[in-house]
Amino acid sequence: MQNTQNTQNKIPIDLHCHSDFSDGSYNVKDLLDLIVKHEGKHIALTDHDTVSGIESATTYAKSLNLNLIAGVEISVTWREHLIHIVGLNINYTNKLLNDELYKLRQARIERSKKIAERLESIGIKNSLAGAMNFCKNPENISRTHFMKFLIANNYASRNNAFDKYLAPGKIAYIKQQWATLEQSIYWIRQAGGVAVIAHPCRYKLNKNLLIELIKDFKQLGGMAIEVVTPNHSTNDANTIALIAKEYDLLASLGSDFHEYKPSQIITPGKNYPLPKICKPVYQSEYLNLIIS
Ligand code: AMP
Ligand code: MN
Ligand code: MN
Ligand code: MN
């Protein structure tokens, strides 16, 4: 959402955040401290393809009087598109979920070797070791870590590392079969959670394809969609709110926080409220937050 409103209007709920267990820059403790500083109260840790941070986050959140919701953001391939499905309020000890996420992380390690080979082919040496230097959890290496390596070594700027090398169609983009949409929803549901389509406008799907994604998602047991996220303009949020109403999906909101820069509007812990027509996932039977 663009920063057109007074940040005082934000509500202290954030259902999408990353730590350095995936591609966030902050460790769990520093992330939660930052959330408290920004007056967040209800926070979901949703690292990519891992729940490794949830236990320590739960313990530390208790000491801060913060309501920590166990979450995950699963990488999915749907009709050749990389889609992210967030799971909220999961039992993070669920064996199926843990076993399957482990396989996704193994695939990340294999992919990282291929990314490095591609970069090597255009003269960019030692990128795997270089990316690993930015990766606190080596079993969960991400394109973000390659981006940090490329920037640090002047191969790219923060604005164009993906466009130059890492985005679909670029030299270091490796096509990957992640989880299927069906698997991601099944794992989340088996772990007692609710499945949410993350940042739907980021995939650049045309309207028909987005509706097909939503129909598949619903038919497979998905329940919610992100409406308010920094990935969306105000217009995007209003469009998705209308679609959510039409397809009877609950609405979610989150900062998709990865790193803090004082100049940026993205801070973890608080978000602009959902449009009035939305049914918030945080007030549904799946989450039922007590908002004080
Ligand atoms: P991966 O899961 O390893 O394929 O990496 C995807 C992650 O890269 C996303 O979760 C974002 O955090 C980040 N990302 C994707 N596209 C961009 C972009 N254009 N600029 C900066 N970061 C991006
Ligand atoms: Mn990310
Ligand atoms: Mn995402
Ligand atoms: Mn995310």
Q: Which residue has a Cα nearest atom 3 of ligand 1?
A: 142
CA of 251 to the centre of ligand 2 (A): 21
Q: How far apart are CA 257 and CA 268, in angstroms?
A: 6
The tens-digit pLDDT sequence of the chain (292 residues) is 544 456 669 999 999 999 999 999 999 999 999 999 999 999 999 999 999 999 999 999 999 999 999 999 999 999 999 999 999 999 999 999 999 999 999 999 999 999 999 999 999 999 999 999 999 999 999 999 999 999 999 999 988 999 999 999 999 999 999 999 999 999 999 999 999 999 999 999 999 999 999 999 999 999 999 999 999 999 999 999 999 999 999 999 999 999 987 677 788 999 999 999 999 999 999 997 877 6
Write down the pLDDT at residue 8: 67
Distance from Cα 199 to the centre of ligand 3, integer Å: 7
Q: Rounded to the nearest 5°, which phi and psi values hold at 229?
A: -155, 150
Atom 11, ligand 1: residue with shortest CA distance: 144
* pLDDT at residue 261, as a whole number: 73
Predicted confidence at residue 5, as pLDDT, reads 55
> Strand pairing partners for 225?
197, 251
Phi, psi (degrees; rounded to nearest 5) at 14:
-145, 105
Q: In what order do the strands lie in the sheet with 42-45?
A: 13-14, 42-45, 67-78, 81-88, 194-197, 224-228, 250-253
Taking the model in full, what pTM does it have? 0.96
* Cα 246 to ligand 2 centroid, rounded to whole Å: 29
Indicate the SS3 state at residue 72.
strand
How high is the pLDDT of residue 88? 98
- Burial (CB < 10 A; 0-12, 13-18, 19+), residue 91, is middle
How far are the Cα atoms of 68, 231, 237, 251 from residue 223, in angstroms, in the given order?
21, 20, 17, 9
